[in-house]
Amino acid sequence: MRIRKVTLHYVKLPMKQSFTTSFGTESVRHTLILKVEESGGEVGWGEVVADGGPWYSYETVHTAWHVIRDYIVRMIAGKDVTPENFPRIVSRIRGHNMAKAGVEFALWDLKGKIEGKPIKDLLGGVRDEVPIGLSVGVIGDVKRLLDEVEAGLNAGYHRIKLKIKPGWDVNPVKLIREEFGDIPLQVDANAAYTLSDVGVFRELDNYGLLMIEQPLHYDDLVEHAELQKAIKTPICLDESIKSLRDAKAAHKLGSCRVINIKPGRVGGLTETKAIHDFAESVGMPVWIGGMIETGIGRSFAVAAATLPNVKYPNDISPSTRFWEEDLIEPPWLLTSNGTLRAPNKPGIGVEVIEERVLRKSVKIEVVTV
Ligand code: OSB
Ligand code: MG
């Protein structure tokens, strides 16, 4: 397909409840929504999962805006571009995976709409419903923590993931075990520890956690391999895995036993599928992570979560968790089975309400390709 127009929207969406990780608190989601039009008149939508600041990753809405407008759009100009050949077309750009993924997502939406197929079918998905886990932020208050976990279990979430940081780790895990028994439970440190904290992880080993996510430095593989040798609980990598190359290195080194793939972090669904397929070939389970996306970004995560080697519940919160009003219809709703249903409609399978995108935009730029 040939792209003729890209519209960038800097969207600010207030969150119903703030979300705290070891690297900061978010209460308004800053995001970049892309509308991509091809020469046949079809419209595709994408979302860049970068945040307002360089906290989870070095990318921000502004860096992605720059990279998309000044480089990606020029590189795809005049070319027959597909979601499969797109990564090669933009490979001269080092890094900036979130910017690349935002455009690549829109290409998947376009391809699906043109061929009349949902993205999950284009990828080779094998299920119509994907199990969802709840990610609980660093809360600090014990009573509120237990209330939030209880509400999540009652709503049907398949597991609880607790965000931890030094000073908020073993104790809340112990309290959750005492209160709720043997529920599927895991923790996510977002890189807040060092190898000298091995004692914390040895203690966490006593609580039968499904996994410990990204305990050490956001770019590390070597020290995670050392830590994995020292503890029983499987390490799951998130931030450290930005590509298939990283996944292969992590496997070779023994840095993790599980991977949380965020399609936005790895440059899109083509790379997601490649990491998924590699992990499957070496017997390493994966699951799909979230970045508090709007319903647009969630669509691509849902499609990825239908892949066969996705073996754990996914961090794909329904629209109602963070948004008063999502940017799509129908909203993503948790079924009574604690799942999201992957739509059978072409492309992303939900309708983007452009009026809402425009109303929530603080800056818009149209680039003619
Ligand atoms: O590390 O998984 C993470 C949100 C922002 C940044 C990092 C992470 C998260 C989540 C969100 O856990 C889960 C969700 O989007 O539902
Ligand atoms: Mg994580």
Candidate of 135, 162, 286, 298 to mutate for ligand 1, largest count of ligand atoms within 8 Å of Cβ: 135
pLDDT at 95: 98
Residues 127 and 81 in one domain: no
User: Average pLDDT, stretch 215-242?
Assistant: 98
Is residue 347 a part of any domain in this protein? no
Confidence of residue 7 (pLDDT cuts 50, 70, 90): very high
Is residue 194 a part of any domain in this protein? yes
Atom number of ligand 1 nearest to Cα 214: 1
Nearest CA, atom 13, ligand 1:
290
C-alpha of residue 242 to centroid of ligand 2, in Å: 13
Residues 110 and 137 in one domain: no
Residues 95 and 174 in one domain: no
Residues 180 and 309 in one domain: yes
Q: What percent of the chain has pLDDT over 90?
A: 100
User: Average pLDDT, stretch 70-83?
Assistant: 97
Residues 293 and 159 in one domain: yes
Contact 73, 90 (CB under 8 A): no
pLDDT at 305: 98
Residues 197 and 282 in one domain: yes
pLDDT at 266: 98
Give Cβ neighbours of residue 212 (< 8 Å, ≥ 6 apart).
186, 187, 188, 189, 201, 204, 231, 233, 234, 235, 236
pLDDT at 309: 98
Candidate of 218, 266, 315 to mutate for ligand 1, largest count of ligand atoms within 8 Å of Cβ: 315
Residues 229 and 312 in one domain: yes
User: Average pLDDT, stretch 115-123?
Assistant: 98
Between CA 22 and CA 216 the distance in angstroms is 12
Confidence of residue 93 (pLDDT cuts 50, 70, 90): very high
Q: Which ligand is nearest to the CA of 29?
A: 1
User: Average pLDDT, stretch 230-257?
Assistant: 98
Q: Which residue has the tokens 């995001």?
A: 31
**C-alpha 21: how far from chain center:** 15
User: Average pLDDT, stretch 326-341?
Assistant: 98
Confidence of residue 336 (pLDDT cuts 50, 70, 90): very high
Confidence of residue 96 (pLDDT cuts 50, 70, 90): very high
- CATH of residue 273's domain is 3.20.20.120
Rounded to 10 deg, the angle between the 142-155 and 170-180 helix axes is 50
pLDDT at 245: 98
- CATH of residue 74's domain is 3.30.390.10
Rg (CA), the chain: 20
Between CA 284 and CA 359 the distance in angstroms is 43
SS3 (DSSP) at 265: coil
Nearest CA, atom 8, ligand 1:
291
Q: List residues with catalytic annotation.
A: 163, 262
Contact 172, 352 (CB under 8 A): no
C-alpha of residue 262 to centroid of ligand 2, in Å: 9
Contact 75, 91 (CB under 8 A): no
Confidence of residue 115 (pLDDT cuts 50, 70, 90): very high
Mean pLDDT across the chain: 97
User: Average pLDDT, stretch 7-13?
Assistant: 98
Confidence of residue 31 (pLDDT cuts 50, 70, 90): very high
Is residue 346 a part of any domain in this protein? no
Contact 191, 217 (CB under 8 A): yes
Q: Which domain holds residue 357?
A: 3-115+353-368
pLDDT at 38: 98
Q: Which ligand is nearest to the CA of 290?
A: 1
Residues 162 and 94 in one domain: no
Q: Are strands 129-131 and 43-48 parallel, antiparallel or unpaired?
A: unpaired
Name the pTM for this structure.
Answer: 0.97
228 Cβ closer than 6 Å to some ligand 1 atom: no
User: Average pLDDT, stretch 51-77?
Assistant: 97
Could you report the per-residue pLDDT of 254-300, keeping only the tens digit for each?
A: 999 999 999 999 999 999 999 999 999 999 999 999 999 999 999 99
Q: Into how many domains does the chain fold?
A: 2
Residues 54 and 156 in one domain: no
pLDDT at 278: 98
Confidence of residue 316 (pLDDT cuts 50, 70, 90): very high
Instruction: Dump the DSSP string for 85-149.
Output: THHHHTTTS-S-HHHHHHHHHHHHHHHHHHHT-BHHHHHT---SEEEB-EEEP----HHHHHHHH
